[in-house]
């Protein structure tokens, strides 16, 4: 394989169970970069929520964020590409989400915002207990999220609907899927992640690859969630960590060790030395 680029999902893939970059994974990233391989972040997170311990690795220049809705140049913080939701879509989503009992997380200029009550107690709105530290560290609370959304409805990169009960999630997903101009995906069962049609991490990685003069065949991608499946299929070598979802595993060309067993490092060393 003529490997020139590695696209990395972060949570439950490159980061360990505490959300940190392990020494082993960092060493593998540095090894790849030293060999002239571009390392690109490909995350559902907003730009401001990316962990410094990853973005500070010398040589990592590009971040695909909000599931492909925005691409940033890390050294300058400049947004290079964006695909905003339309104001009409924002109003349609607000209408469908009214009274569903969950919460909304919205991404504007790389920052994630959420209702203050949700940030204070995420579990009450459908998040898992394990997600509490992440939500409270990365979501900026606002008192009236609906008013905030309408004030920024032409600047919205993406939004998440946090939904607890599976049946509620299924009904809401089906209703959203019937709307025009939306792209739906999910990284974990309690989230429905929404961006504009034509989105997806693979779209953002394609933009970076074209900027670098690379083809999909020269890209390897690592992931764990349903929202990584298209990226793994798009790339010349798609690698799922062992803890990946069934859809992600089905899309993968290879399976490496779990995220908390330095699966990314093992996969990188394997493909670099093929």
pLDDT digit string (tens) for 98-128?
888 899 999 999 999 999 999 999 999 989 9
Residue 182 pLDDT level (bands cut at 50, 70, 90): very high
What is each CA distance from 232 to 45, 120, 162, 217, 274, in whole angstroms? 18, 35, 25, 11, 19
H helix intervals, the chain: 23-34, 52-55, 87-97, 116-120, 132-138, 145-151, 166-177, 201-212, 229-234, 246-251, 263-272
Mean pLDDT of the chain: 96
CATH number of 87-196: 3.30.1240.10
pLDDT digit string (tens) for 10-33?
999 999 999 999 999 999 999 999
pLDDT digit string (tens) for 236-260?
999 999 999 999 999 999 999 999 9
CA separation for the pair 137, 2 (Å, rounded): 39
Q: Which one is the CATH code of 5-82+200-272: 3.30.1490.190, 3.40.50.1000, 3.40.50.300, 1.10.3720.10?
A: 3.40.50.1000
Q: What is the pLDDT of residue 87?
A: 96
Mean pLDDT over 136-140 rounds to: 96
Residue 95 pLDDT level (bands cut at 50, 70, 90): very high
Q: Report domain extents, the chain.
A: 5-82+200-272, 87-196
């Amino acid at each position: 394989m003529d490997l020139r680029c590695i696209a990395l999902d972060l949570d439950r893939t490159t980061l360990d169970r505490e959300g940190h970059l392990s020494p082993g994974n960092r060493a593998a990233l540095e090894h790849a970069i030293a060999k002239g391989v571009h390392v690109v972040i490909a995350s559902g997170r907003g730009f401001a929520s990316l962990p410094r311990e990853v973005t500070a690795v010398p040589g990592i220049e590009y971040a695909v964020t909000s599931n492909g809705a925005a691409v940033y140049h890390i050294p300058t913080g400049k947004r290079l590409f964006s695909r905003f939701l339309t104001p009409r879509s924002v109003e349609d989503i607000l209408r469908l989400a009214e009274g569903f009992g969950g919460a909304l997380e919205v991404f504007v200029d790389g920052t994630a915002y959420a209702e203050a009550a949700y940030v204070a107690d995420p579990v009450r709105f459908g998040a898992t207990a394990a997600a509490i530290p992440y939500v409270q560290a990365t979501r900026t609370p606002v008192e009236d999220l609906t008013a905030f959304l309408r004030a920024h409805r032409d600047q919205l990169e993406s939004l998440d609907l946090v939904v607890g009960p599976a049946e509620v999630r299924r009904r809401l997903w089906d209703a959203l899927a019937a709307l025009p101009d939306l792209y739906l995906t999910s990284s974990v069962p309690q989230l429905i992640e929404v961006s504009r049609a034509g989105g997806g991490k693979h779209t953002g990685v394609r933009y970076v690859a074209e900027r670098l003069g690379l083809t999909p065949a020269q890209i390897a991608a690592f992931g764990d969630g349903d929202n990584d499946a298209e990226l793994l299929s798009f790339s010349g070598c798609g690698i799922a960590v062992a803890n990946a979802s069934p859809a992600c595993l089905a899309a993968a060309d290879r399976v490496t060790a779990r995220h908390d067993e330095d699966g990314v490092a093992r996969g990188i060393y394997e493909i670099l030395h093929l």
